[in-house]
């Protein structure tokens, strides 16, 4: 009530602070119990007329349950999410960083920033799914306009930024505004293969649109004597070719200046990803994907082979001489190789075009009507 009388236009109830509040029966201790959140929100609603938002804790199993309590208590919206309780690191003398005093004691505190973005995105989207249209203030790892747009797609109504400001200063807000404007503008253009402000990854060799595989009809890795062969083949080709020919011009990836359709507003894109969030049982196993490696982008590092060999299904064969990886029929589409590949878009997931045979180390049996509760695996044409 005093805050409202002082001129505040809105309040945020920090019912989830992890910094010692739980020990005092405050902050985190309140935010983890739906009945306390419900009653606190009711008290605040009865005392003030200005809008207020209850800040959610991620340190709980079901954040939607807490959001429901805040909504039932009269909160105009929620903030998702607060920091994650954690311990940053431990030195080799047994003391933690950060530590306090001559005894170098520490305690568990709130971890924020990019590290918690996946948790925050999950929280925002889960609340948006449960309560369509309910105002959500998103926070947790919004370090760029692109990250901010992800939260808007997940159902956020507005964005809160703290760690990014601490890492730089308030001028980054200008970057966020112009970045969001650019992302909205790009949606009005007829673009193919763009991801936000990033154009499709060009296939080039030393900055040229010459692909050695196209010249000789076979693959050549980009190291050692093979690299020398690539250079010689390319050099010979350029000496004999007309370098002013259109095929040597860089691919036109920049968008046209004229919009092809109306530029959307932020409210138009809010929650556009929510209907893509489903329960695990709703994922269709009849539409499997497999990895495919782009030989023109591959640097023959072997990361894909290592992760698949030790943590996957041994579905990648790595040539010991040329270091060229090959994906076999054993690929299950786990995306481990995609996640460790250092080259953007070198490994992509595509629909499987053959019937998948399950191999679990016990017996070899084909997935059909008798073994799959959802019927035969879909075969793409």
Which CATH number is 339's domain given? Answer: 3.30.70.20
Say if residue 230 is in the same domain as residue 328. no
Domain annotation covers residue 332: yes
Q: Which long-range contacts (CB under 8 A, 24 or more apart) does 178-186 make?
A: 178/145, 179/144, 179/145, 179/146, 179/148, 180/145, 180/148, 180/149, 180/266, 182/145, 183/145, 183/146, 183/149, 184/263, 184/264, 184/265, 184/266, 184/269, 185/259, 185/263, 186/255
Say if residue 57 is in the same domain as residue 167. yes
Contact 315, 332 (CB under 8 A): yes
Domain annotation covers residue 251: no
Domain annotation covers residue 288: yes
Domain annotation covers residue 265: no
Say if residue 212 is in the same domain as residue 238. yes
- Over the range 193-202, which residues count as b (16 or more CB within 10 Å of their CB) and which as e? eeeeeebeee
Say if residue 152 is in the same domain as residue 46. yes
Contact 234, 206 (CB under 8 A): yes
Say if residue 234 is in the same domain as residue 318. no
CATH of the domain at 77: 3.20.20.70
| Whole-number pLDDT of residue 358 | 73
The number of domains in the chain is 3
Q: Which domain holds residue 234?
A: 204-242
| Whole-number pLDDT of residue 371 | 45
Contact 163, 84 (CB under 8 A): no
**Dihedral Cα 162, 166, 170, 175, nearest 10 deg:** -80
Q: Is 17 a catalytic residue?
A: yes
Domain annotation covers residue 64: yes
Q: CA 124, 125, 127, 128 torsion: positive or negative?
A: positive
Residues paired with 325 in a beta bridge: 318
Say if residue 60 is in the same domain as residue 170. yes
Say if residue 208 is in the same domain as residue 299. no
Say if residue 232 is in the same domain as residue 103. no
Domain annotation covers residue 260: no
CA 50 to chain centroid, in Å, comes to: 35
Domain annotation covers residue 268: no
Set 17, 308, 337, 346: catalytic member: 17
Say if residue 79 is in the same domain as residue 150. yes
Of the residues 188, 222, 255, the one at which a domain ends: 188
Mean pLDDT, consecutive 10-residue segments, the chain of 381 residues? 96 81 62 93 97 94 96 98 93 94 92 96 98 97 97 98 94 96 91 85 60 66 80 80 69 66 94 95 87 88 95 92 91 95 93 80 49 45 41
pTM of the model: 0.82
- Non-local CB neighbours of 112 within 8 Å, separated by 6+ positions: 83, 84, 140, 141, 162, 163
Say if residue 34 is in the same domain as residue 62. yes
Say if residue 208 is in the same domain as residue 181. no
| Whole-number pLDDT of residue 254 | 64
CA–CA distance, 15 with 278 (Å, rounded to integer): 29
- Which residue is listed with tokens 């084909």? 366
Domain annotation covers residue 379: no
**How far is CA 90 from each of CA 84, 100, 116, 134, rounded to the nearest angstrom?**
18, 13, 20, 41
Say if residue 316 is in the same domain as residue 219. no
Contact 226, 220 (CB under 8 A): yes
- Non-local CB neighbours of 189 within 8 Å, separated by 6+ positions: 255, 256, 259, 260
Contact 178, 252 (CB under 8 A): no
């Amino acid at each position: 009530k005093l805050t409202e009388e002082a001129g505040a236009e809105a309040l945020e109830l920090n019912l989830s602070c992890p910094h010692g509040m739980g020990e005092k029966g405050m902050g985190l201790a309140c935010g983890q119990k739906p009945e306390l959140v419900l009653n606190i929100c009711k008290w605040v609603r009865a005392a003030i007329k200005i809008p207020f938002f209850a800040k959610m804790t991620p340190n709980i199993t079901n954040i939607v349950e807490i959001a429901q309590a805040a909504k039932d208590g009269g909160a105009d919206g929620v903030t998702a999410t607060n920091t994650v309780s954690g311990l940053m690191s431990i030195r080799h003398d047994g003391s933690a960083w950060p530590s306090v005093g001559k005894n170098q004691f520490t305690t568990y505190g709130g971890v924020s920033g990019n590290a918690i973005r996946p948790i925050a995105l999950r929280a925002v989207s889960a609340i948006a799914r449960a309560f369509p249209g309910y105002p959500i203030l998103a926070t947790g790892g919004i370090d760029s306009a692109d990250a901010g747009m992800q939260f808007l797609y997940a159902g956020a109504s507005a964005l809160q930024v703290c760690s990014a400001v601490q890492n730089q200063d308030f001028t980054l807000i200008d970057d966020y505004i112009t970045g969001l404007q650019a992302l909205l503008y790009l949606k009005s253009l007829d673009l193919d293969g763009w991801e936000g402000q990033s154009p499709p990854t060009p296939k080039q060799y030393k900055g040229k649109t010459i692909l050695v595989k196209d010249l000789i009809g076979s693959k050549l890795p980009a190291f050692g004597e093979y690299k020398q062969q690539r250079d010689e083949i390319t050099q010979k080709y350029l000496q004999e070719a007309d370098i002013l020919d259109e095929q040597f011009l860089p691919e036109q990836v920049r968008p046209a200046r004229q919009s092809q359709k109306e530029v959307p507003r932020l409210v138009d894109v809010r929650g556009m990803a929510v209907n893509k969030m489903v329960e695990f049982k709703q994922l269709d196993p009849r539409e499997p994907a497999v990895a495919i490696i782009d030989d023109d982008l591959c640097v023959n590092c072997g990361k894909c082979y290592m992760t698949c060999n030790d943590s996957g299904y041994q579905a990648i064969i790595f040539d010991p001489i040329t270091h060229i990886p090959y994906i076999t029929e054993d690929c299950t589409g786990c995306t481990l190789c995609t996640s460790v590949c250092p080259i953007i878009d070198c490994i992509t997931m595509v629909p499987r075009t053959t019937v998948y045979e399950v191999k679990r180390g016990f017996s070899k049996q084909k997935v059909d009507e008798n073994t799959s509760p959802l019927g035969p695996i879909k075969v793409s044409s």
